[in-house]
Amino acid sequence: MNSAPIGVFDSGVGGLSVLREIRQALPNESLMYVADSGHVPYGEKSPEQIRERSRSIARFLLQQGAKALVVACNTATAAAVADLREIYDLPIIGMEPAVKPAAQATRTGIVGVLATTGTLQSARFAALLDRFAGSVKVITQPCPGLVEYIEQGELDSPRVRALLQTFTQPLLSAGCDTIILGCTHYPFVRPALQSLLAPGITLIDTGAAVARQLQSRLVTLDMISAGPARPCQFWSSGDPQALSCVLPTLWGELGSVELLPFGGAKVL
């Protein structure tokens, strides 16, 4: 059982930024990854649609023998993690924008959050602010259109930079010195973003924290694998070839990708 794989999913390639952190923290664990690229972006979908997709993907990963699940998507966590935890009896790790560490890091007392519309509008995000923002002012900024470029492996082009400039401008004007990358796709444009910002601006994401949380859950439950890890298995509900093409850049290795055997793009 301990050598069983960990199932990780996202609306597309964004969760690979989390998968990389998991691989680094837990090199003996076998990993499986589902990119729901046939339905990306989740950011503009209704919570019901995202719950439906998340349930189907979780069921699939369980059928493939997953011992634990990581919802490597802030938007899907906001819409579906509570639902998944009610339905499925295995450890499920979700992720949310790093409001707590950002509130501790800011010196100006003003923090910006880049995330999807779905995350920013969710009750879970409102509760997160209530719990951790304290006296810190939080300015939120949805980033429509950005995920689509990242899906194609376009991480630092003039049009990506133009979008990043548009989205960060209101945060900088408001006096933010700390910006939360509240979507798992965004760490992939971190170098482009950093080069547009003054050196004093701190960017924070949650991938490494999620990997640590997964590790501590597995340790507590005595579910850590002794290894060796098998090569990561990938599925996409979009074009498997497209995911294969971006794997060397976004995952750092080649990988074979299969078509997810249910729920192609026409379902929604």
In the complex, minimum distance from the CB of residue 139 to ligand DGL, in angstroms, rounded to a whole number: 18
Verify binding: residue 53, ligand DGL, rule CB under 6 A: no
73 is catalytic: yes
Query: Catalytic one among 143, 176, 183, 232?
Result: 183
Verify binding: residue 80, ligand DGL, rule CB under 6 A: no
Considering only residues 14 to 43 of the shown chain, the ones binding ligand DGL according to CB under 6 A are 14, 40-43
Closest CA to 251 of 268, 229, 234, 226: 234
- C-beta of 109: minimal distance to ligand DGL in Å? 26
Shorter beta-carbon distance to ligand DGL: residue 188 or 225 = 188
**Contact between 183 and ligand DGL per CB under 6 A:** yes
Catalytic member of 73, 143, 176, 232: 73
DSSP 226: -
Distance of CA 153 to the CA centre of its chain: 16
Alpha-carbon dihedral 254, 38, 62, 30, rounded to 10 degrees = 10
Q: Examine the residue annotation and report whether 183 is marked as an active-site residue of this protein.
A: yes
In the chain, the amino acid numbered 111 is: V
- Apex CA 17: angle with CA 176 and CA 75, to 5°? 65
75 is a contact residue toward ligand DGL (CB under 6 A): yes
Stretch that binds ligand DGL, among 67-75, 81-89, 99-107, 152-160 (CB under 6 A): 67-75
Peptide bond preceding 47: is omega within 30 degrees of 0, i.e. cis?
no
Could you give the CA distance from residue 227 to residue 219 in angstroms, rounded to a whole number? 14
What value, to the nearest 5°, has the Cα angle with vertex 83 and ends 78 and 85?
Answer: 105
Q: Footprint of ligand DGL on this chain (CB under 6 A)?
A: 10-12, 14, 40-43, 73-75, 116, 119, 147, 183-185
Which residues form the catalytic set?
73, 183
